[in-house]
Chain A
Amino acid sequence: MFRVILYNQWKWSRLLVVLGSVAGFALPIVSLQGAARADASPLAPAELLRTVQSWGVLYPVLAATLGLLVAITTWTPDHRGRHVYALVLPVPRWRYVLLRFGAGALLLAAPITAVLVGALVATSSAAIPAGLQGYPVALAVRFALAVLVAFAVFFAVSAGTARTAGIVLALIGGVMLVQVIADVARVDFDLVGKLQLLVLNWPGPLAIFTGRWMLIDV
């Protein structure tokens, strides 16, 4: 059962998975390009850290993009068929949802592995200045968590109907409206800021995306 769902998922998201894997492999290597040419002009530790940090912004972006797109493709065949076919299959709905989730999550293992391999290749071939260390496994684990969090969030949202999406958008719109009204009325009430702190700061659900994503660090 899982095999056919996985194959179905692969047919829908193979292009995303391949492109994501190429990007995931290339990103750590490109981020350490200067350090790799150690004999030519090794980067000073501070400059290397700045370069690695600026490239590091792309890891959460890649993780969120992959999670979003694979989650959307996970439900595309069912949405197109208005879920009728899926609902008449002789499996409990929770099990079908788990099968779909598992298939999407398993396919995301490819770009995660690509990031790990890319990070290992990059750190092993680079001349890392004294006092700095490579963290390929930690970076790949963090990337894996970020991809899975993004996938889980968007999987849950895209599992719903257009009505569900409308409710989510209405909630976001409502928060923005309250904030605008508070600003216009000069009320000291930072709702957006508070929500941002709640969501993006530890133990918020999206805290994994924030902070520095460093392949090389002290």
Chain B
Amino acid sequence: MMNAIETDQLHYRAAKTFHISGLGLKVPVGAIYGFLGPNGSGKTTTIRLVLGLLRPLAGRISVLGHEIPRDAPSILAQVGFVPEQPHLDSILTVRETLAFHAAFYPTWDWPWAERLLRQFDLEERQPFGRLSKGQKGKVMMLLALAQRPELLVLDEPTDGLDPVVRRDVLSALLDYVSQRRASVFISSHLIHELERFCDWIGVMDNGRLITQVPMERFKNGIKRLRISGAPPIPESLPFVLLGREQTDGATETWLVREWEPQMSAYFDRPGVTLTEVMDLDLEEGFVELLRTFRGPRA
């Protein structure tokens, strides 16, 4: 299967203290890929690399089957981008902004843009610079959607928006994706928001991709196990042990990844009892993943 975005052994140095290393991102075609990570983890830098705004030191980037940055000018016509900060000309009105943008995109859909303009309740004569943060967010999403892209790259598109605006923006996005089967690469730190509609998840920390898995596998795969009489040095584990803590004298809590129900058989041994398997929600899983990545407790 072709990937909408694919990077291979991508290296980039942004400063003396920050670099992206060995990034191997794979966003399947038609997927809504949530790109999670704490502030400063490299999400925006990765997006800028993917769009050809930055040039990597090494590695390969492919977007919709084309090499980036070599083919960026042609492939960007099929990519809708919503940046973290609105970068549009502040003195153009909303209507003028739309006209400016439309001139560059051959697939621009004016009737749909008009519909979104009404749906988002935007005042078309208002200069972009005088719009509220929520209205600017709506204009950015309108521009990205009305150009009818095959891939949407969204860098924290709902950050700082109130719940009503956030709902409007996300419902327009989901409408489009369901009609067009477009791929979406969305970065956010609003974990619960991503949990609702993403089908893939990638987690970035300190310039490295810690994990990328289907959302269901991520949610179901991270568990907290309560074990009494746990072996001191676990051998040939069928799952990934992220961390272990002694709860009381005889009981330990293990944090594991890639857990499947049949793996409870691993604990069928003398003196060892698996007493409880607890689910973690996405946020807990994300936090635990980061904790173990930064300093393994196992």
Contacts and interface: CB of A to CB of B under 8 A. Distances in A.
Contacts of B91: 11-12, 77
B103 A84 contact: no
A90 B53 contact: no
B126 interface: no
Interface string B50-64: 011100000000000
A84 B87 contact: yes
Contact of A8 (B75, B79, B92, B104): B92
Interface centre among B75, B87, B99 (most CB of A within 10 A): B87
B73 interface: yes
A152 B56 CA distance: 31
Interface string B86-108: 01111110001001100111000
B77 interface: yes
Given A8-B92, A90-B76, A84 B100 contact: no
Contacts of A80: 89-90
Interface residues of A, number: 20
Contacts of B81: 88
B83 interface: yes
A89 B76 contact: yes
Nearest to B78: A90
Contact of A88 (B53, B89, B90, B100): B53
A87 interface: yes
B89 A3 contact: no
Interface string A29-64: 000000000000000000000000000000000000
Contacts of B87: 81-82, 84-85
Interface in B180-221: none
Contacts of A193: none
Contact of B103 (A3, A77, A82): A3
Nearest to A12: B91
A184 to B, nearest CB: 38
A1 interface: yes
A3 B88 CA distance: 18
B262 interface: no
A1 B73 contact: no
A4 interface: yes
Given A88-B53, A90-B105, A77 B89 contact: yes
B73 A92 contact: yes
A74 to B, nearest CB: 12
Contacts of B90: 77, 80
A189 interface: no
Interface string A20-33: 00000000000000
A91 interface: yes
A1 B53 CA distance: 21
A202 interface: no
Nearest to B51: A88
8 contacts: A1-B104, A4-B103, A11-B91, A77-B89, A77-B91, A81-B88, A90-B74, A93-B73
> Which 4 A-B residue pairs are closest in the complex by CB-CB distance?
A81-B87, A90-B77, A90-B76, A77-B89
